[in-house]
């Protein structure tokens, strides 16, 4: 029964000489029409209720005007559908059909091509007018917002066809290391009191999820002061046994390096740096690790040994000897991670794990990276593992196919030898 029918049945009929009730105010009519546009059956065969708006107090939002959204489709409805179906990313752009990333693969939708007016109305759902103005000036925008069911990382950019946007869905619930099936050595790494822990891998390899699980374990098990510096804040941690302070670059600080230097005066036990993207940030992170703090950071590298080389390549030739010594003395572990599709249609992580033992420390100082790689293949008792060994374990467990193991391997020839020895 509709609201109008309810109203008619709950009041006696009006006398004949009384003129009929005037129509509801235009704003209410517009609101009802706007609510009706959320019926997604116009585009799909399923009907979904309007999702809740972003959580108040996180990022100021202004409601989209229905008149400026010809598609009648709200961004909130698109995000809710992605969340309900377990999609990780949403790709939107003027002149393009909305698409989702479903377990690593891009999937088109049945929605019509996005027009400029609809796109701008979507921006107003999750960005303030000032942020939209900043985007139009800089042609780039990074941010995040939060709904009742998920947190969403936002990147807006210009393209040949017009404005475009990619949204990354971040679950509110942080999965534990056990739920992620991370190796037991991750727990040992979390118990380090000082030094540098690096989690590396390409974009979309699950680095943030792994680091969130490690931070959550420390937060629940140890009484520490944890400061995170991120761009933007992704997983939100509530203080438990530890005290957690999260800072977003651009909102709570101007630069990673500024916040990292300030953190040294804020009595931290653990500092998480969202991305170590330049020489200054690496310098400060190493200084923090050498002065008794535990520092966690990320880099976009594909293996543990290449991570060491990537850091040293930030420095000139005459600086590298001193930096090799500093890195050898500071490093706790390097975890390189990738994701692969499993036989049940989900995804699993595989790892390259380097633990800074005394032997590794000497080889880092001497630049003997080939010896480090060989040691990783043999030092499973220290928790080390190579990506090929990790992929082989997934294959032997029946979680991935032989084709997936070969496709994801950094050295397919060696992977093929592993498989031939086991098949």
| pTM of structure | 0.77
Residues 281-289 have a mean pLDDT of 92
The number of C-alpha atoms within 13 Å of 267 and in the hemisphere containing its C-beta is: 4
* pLDDT 10s digits, 367-403: 999 899 999 998 888 999 999 999 999 999 999 999 9
Across 17-28, b (16+ Cβ under 10 Å) vs e yields: eeeeeeeeeeee
Q: What is the pLDDT of residue 14?
A: 41
Residue 29: predicted pLDDT: 36
Nearest to 192 by CA among 291, 360, 332: 332
CATH class of 184-385: alpha beta
Identify the three-state secondary structure at position 155.
strand
Sheet arrangement for strand 140-146: 105-108, 99-102, 89-93, 163-171, 150-158, 140-146
Q: What's the pLDDT score for residue 21? A: 46
pLDDT, mean of residues 242-252: 93
Confidence at 218, pLDDT banded by 50, 70, 90: very high
Instruction: Please state the length of the chain.
Output: 423
- Which letter, b or e, does each residue of 207-229 get, where b requires 16 or more Cβ atoms within 10 Å of its Cβ? bbbbbbbbbbbbbeebebbbbbb
What's the mean pLDDT when you consider all of the chain? Answer: 85
Identify the sign of the CA torsion 376, 377, 383, 384: positive
Residues 307-363: pLDDT tens digits?
Answer: 999 999 999 989 999 999 999 999 999 999 999 999 998 899 999 999 999 999 999
Average pLDDT of 254-272?
Answer: 92
Interatomic CA distance for residues 423 and 191, integer angstroms: 38
Q: Which pLDDT value is given to residue 42? A: 38
% of the chain with per-residue pLDDT over 90: 69
Query: Do the Cβ atoms of 305 and 281 come closer than 8 Å?
Result: no
Environment class of residue 308 by beta-carbon count within 10 Å: exposed (0-12), middle (13-18) or buried (19+)?
buried
Averaged pLDDT for residues 180-193: 95
CATH code reported for the domain at 75-170: 3.30.450.90
Q: Which residues of 30-56 are buried (b: 16+ CB within 10 A; e: fewer)?
A: eeeebeebbbbeebeeeeeeebeebee
Q: Where are the domains of the chain?
A: 75-170, 184-385
Q: Are 195 and 289 in contact, with CB atoms under 8 Å apart?
A: yes
């Amino acid at each position: 029964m509709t609201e109008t029918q309810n109203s008619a049945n709950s009041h006696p009929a009006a006398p004949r000489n009384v003129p009929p009730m005037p129509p509801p105010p235009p704003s209410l009519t517009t609101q009802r029409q706007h609510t009706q546009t959320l019926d997604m059956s116009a585009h799909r065969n399923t009907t979904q209720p309007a999702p809740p708006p972003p959580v108040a107090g996180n990022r100021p939002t202004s409601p989209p005007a229905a008149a400026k959204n010809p598609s009648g489709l709200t961004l909130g409805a698109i995000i809710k559908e992605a969340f309900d179906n377990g999609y990780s990313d949403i790709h939107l752009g003027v002149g393009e059909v909305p698409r989702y990333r479903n377990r690593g693969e891009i999937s088109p939708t049945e929605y019509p091509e996005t027009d400029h007016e609809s796109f701008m109305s979507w921006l107003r759902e999750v960005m303030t007018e000032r942020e939209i103005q900043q985007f139009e000036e800089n042609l780039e925008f990074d941010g995040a917002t939060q709904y009742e069911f998920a947190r969403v990382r936002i990147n807006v950019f210009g393209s040949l066809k017009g404005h475009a946007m990619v949204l990354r869905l971040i679950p509110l619930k942080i999965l534990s290391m056990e739920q992620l099936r991370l190796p037991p050595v991750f727990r040992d790494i979390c118990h380090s009191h000082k030094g540098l822990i690096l989690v590396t891998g390409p974009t979309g390899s699950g680095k943030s999820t792994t680091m969130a699980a490690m931070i959550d374990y420390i937060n629940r098990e140890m009484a520490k002061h944890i400061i995170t510096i991120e761009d933007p804040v992704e997983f939100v941690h509530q203080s438990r046994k530890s005290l957690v302070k999260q800072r977003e670059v651009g909102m709570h600080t101007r630069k990673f390096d500024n916040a990292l230097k300030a953190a040294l005066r804020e009595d931290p036990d653990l500092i998480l740096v969202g991305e170590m993207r330049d020489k200054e940030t690496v310098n400060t992170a190493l200084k923090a690790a050498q002065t008794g703090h535990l520092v966690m950071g990320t880099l976009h590298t594909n293996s543990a040994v290449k991570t060491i080389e990537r850091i040293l390549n930030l420095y000139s030739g005459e600086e590298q000897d001193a930096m090799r010594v500093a890195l050898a003395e500071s490093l706790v572990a390097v975890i390189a991670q990738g994701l692969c599709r499993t036989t049940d249609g989900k995804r699993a992580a595989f790892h390259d794990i380097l633990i800074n033992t005394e032997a590794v420390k000497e080889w880092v100082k001497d630049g003997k990276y080939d010896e480090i790689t060989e040691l990783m293949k043999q030092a499973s008792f220290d928790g080390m593992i190579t990506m090929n060994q990790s992929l082989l374990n997934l294959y032997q467990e029946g979680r991935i196919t032989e084709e997936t193991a070969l496709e994801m391997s950094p050295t397919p020839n060696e992977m093929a030898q592993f498989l031939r020895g086991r098949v």
